[in-house]
Amino acid sequence: MRVVLRTLNIFFLAGALLFFAEPAFAKKERPPKGVIVKWNDVPAAVRATVETNAGGGKVKEVRQETTNGFVFYWAEVRGSDGKWSKIYVKDAGTLIRVEPDNARNKRKHKPLFGG
């Protein structure tokens, strides 16, 4: 009887340890950096550069970020092919880079209805 209770006690403690330790090892989601800027408040030079490099896609969100004293904007764009990309532009309207948003492109969303 004592052996059974001791074994149950060990299993209970191990389970409790795993239950409470799991959140400590979980990947924490970090919010994106920068401040969301309305499209109308984005400088005209930045808007023109983003539209030129969007390739006919839709600009979904624009953020303003300051790093080492430099102000730049980055826009999340959904292309006409359905692929997401990020466009980075200096506040003067100079293109920094265009890169695919691999994390967003890997997600597979299935429609709930009619799919």
Q: Given a cut of 50, is residue 115 above it in pLDDT? A: no
Tokens matching residue 1 = 């009887």
- What pLDDT sits at residue 22? 67
pLDDT > 90: percent of the chain: 48
Q: Which residue has the higher pLDDT, 22 or 96?
A: 96
Q: What residue ranges define each of the domains in the chain, with the CATH number in brackets? A: 35-106 (3.10.450.360)
Residue 54: CB partners within 8 Å, gap ≥ 6?
75, 77, 79, 87
Q: How far apart, in whole angstroms, are the C-alpha atoms of residue 112 and residue 66?
A: 39
Mean pLDDT of the chain: 84
User: Computed from CA positions of residues 94, 97, 98, 102, in that sequence, does the dihedral angle turn out positive or negative?
Assistant: negative
- What pLDDT sits at residue 30? 72
- What pLDDT sits at residue 34? 86
Q: Given a cut of 70, is residue 86 above it in pLDDT? A: yes
Kindly state the helix (H) or strand (E) to which residue 78 belongs, with its residue range. strand 70-78
- Say whether pTM exceeds 0.85: no
